[in-house]
Structure 1
Amino acid sequence: MKKTTEIKNFQLFITTFVYTFSLFQSFLPQKEAN
């Protein structure tokens, strides 16, 4: 039961990180282009 919770927390962390990274990239498209 504990392992499942840890895996879910890890997946949530990864999903949040990827979402934040995508949002950050879409926020600064011109900086990436330059």
Structure 2
Amino acid sequence: MKTFEERLSRLEELADKLQEGKIPLEEAISLFEEG
């Protein structure tokens, strides 16, 4: 199980990618389900 810090870091990384528009829709949905 990941620590809170690891999860927060991953979330920030994904948020940056989404804001930059570098993630295809299918991948974005998959990442949303992950979180």
Structure 1 unpaired stretches of 5+: 24-34
Identical pairs, percent: 19
Q: CA RMSD in A?
A: 2.0
Q: Which runs of 5+ in 2 are unaligned?
A: 23-35
Q: Which has the larger radius of gyration?
A: 1
TM-score calculated relative to the size of structure 2: 0.52
| Higher share of residues assigned helix | 1
Structure having greater relative contact order (Cα 8 Å, sep ≥ 6): 2
Q: TM-score, normalised by structure 1?
A: 0.54
The count of corresponding residues between Structure 1 and Structure 2 is 21
Runs of 4+ residues deviating >6 angstroms: none
